[in-house]
Chains A and B, each alone.
Chain A
Amino acid sequence: MSAPIKHFLQFKDLTREELEYLFERTRRIKKKFKAYQQYWPLTDRTLVMIFEKASTRTRLSFEAGIQQLGGSAIYLNTRDSQLGRGEPVEDAGQVISRMSDLVMIRTFEQSIIERFAAHSRVPVINGLTNEYHPCQILADIYTYIEHRGSIQGKTVAWIGDSNNMCNTWLQAAEILDFNVHVSTPPGYEVEPERAGLYGHAHYEEFKDPMEAAKGADLVTTDVWTSMGWEAENEERLKDFADWQVDAEMMSVAAKDALFMHCLPAHRGEEVSAEVIDGTQSVVWDEAENRLHVQKALMEYLLLGKVQ
């Protein structure tokens, strides 16, 4: 009997065991890439990438990734697709998935990608929605493991907006058993239901960002104004002024704490240049690892576990 289609729409779509498998596959696939070793398990498979929001790293990492695995990618932007506007998203799911082997979507509401996937005959990957950014968190956790080993029992300090990155960190904490200290300005707090959490056991909210960073093994943040919230930019600049990750904040974290940022970054806003360009920052490894984890993810969704 064949297995059901596996999608990656939220971080919690994968179990802890599956995630551990993916991280190990990522290590092996990255090693092959670094050794210029040809690895084409997805020969003649076609990935369709649908972008309703701007992207640099996501397009690059998925397109390069599928090519390096022997497949090819087709890029559709808002003018070409307009999910739910040009035609019902359910119809788009039927049609696009009948001509391809894998679909990656960057869109607005999570409900759009969920509806698409419900009508897709091939796996669908979330390339960012308003609510979640699971591929980025896969890369972030893999990067942590590369530098420091298992993330289980560690503390991640999330400083800034409770956006799609924050929500996904919180989901990951429940599955991989680590803790998240969240500090947001008043009015920007975590919405547990929107974050899709099972409970509060793995995160704690702090009014003072310095308190959140204290003793953390990893300090991470994101832009103060995420895509889609640009109209609030001026107000957010004022509201978030005290939530910059700077050297003083890193000094209260654990001695060997890492700094991560999913990029693009605004030096002087959510992070000081001294921190993002400093010795504790692993942002370039983090960006590169998008490529490697997504290759492992595509391989898994299409082929299941391989030897």
Chain B
Amino acid sequence: MKRLAVMQYVSANANMSIANVKPQRGGGSQNRLHVQKALMEYLLLGKVA
């Protein structure tokens, strides 16, 4: 559970603060990552706070 707590605020591109990158619209491929993370969390843990 400790690792999950960390993951809740860490994402890919976590280094964007130092990497002069502006968030882009329509990041379809990137959103595959994020929705699948949410899906895996839901399938394994159910609804979380």
Contacts and interface: CB of A to CB of B under 8 A. Distances in A.
Interface of A: 1-5, 43-46, 94-95, 97-102, 121-123, 302-304
Interface string B8-39: 00101111111111000001011011000000
30 contacts: A1-B20, A2-B16, A2-B17, A2-B18, A2-B20, A3-B18, A3-B20, A4-B19, A43-B10, A44-B6, A44-B7, A44-B10, A45-B14, A45-B15, A98-B30, A98-B33, A99-B30, A99-B32, A99-B33, A100-B13, A101-B12, A101-B15, A102-B15, A121-B19, A122-B13, A123-B15, A123-B19, A302-B18, A303-B15, A303-B18
Interface size on B, as a range, is 10 to 19
B37 to A, nearest CB: 10
Contacts of B20: 1-5
Name which of B13, B15, B18 has the most chain A CB atoms within 10 A of its CB.
B15
Interface of B: 6-7, 10, 12-21, 27, 29-30, 32-33
Contacts of A102: 15
- A contacts with B: majority SS: loop
Contact of A98 (B6, B10, B29): B29
A45 B27 CA distance: 20
A5 B21 contact: yes
Contacts of A121: 13, 16, 19, 21
A119 to B, nearest CB: 12
Nearest to B19: A5
B6 A99 contact: no
Contacts of B12: 46, 98-101
Nearest to A70: B6
B28 to A, nearest CB: 9
A33 B30 CA distance: 34
Most chain B CB neighbours (cut-off 10 Å) among A95, A98, A99: A98
Contacts of B32: 99
Given A101-B13, A121-B16, 13 more contacts: A5-B20, A5-B21, A45-B15, A98-B12, A98-B27, A98-B33, A99-B30, A100-B12, A121-B21, A123-B15, A302-B18, A303-B15, A303-B18
A99 to B, nearest CB: 5
A167 B21 CA distance: 32
A100 to B, nearest CB: 6
B29 to A, nearest CB: 4
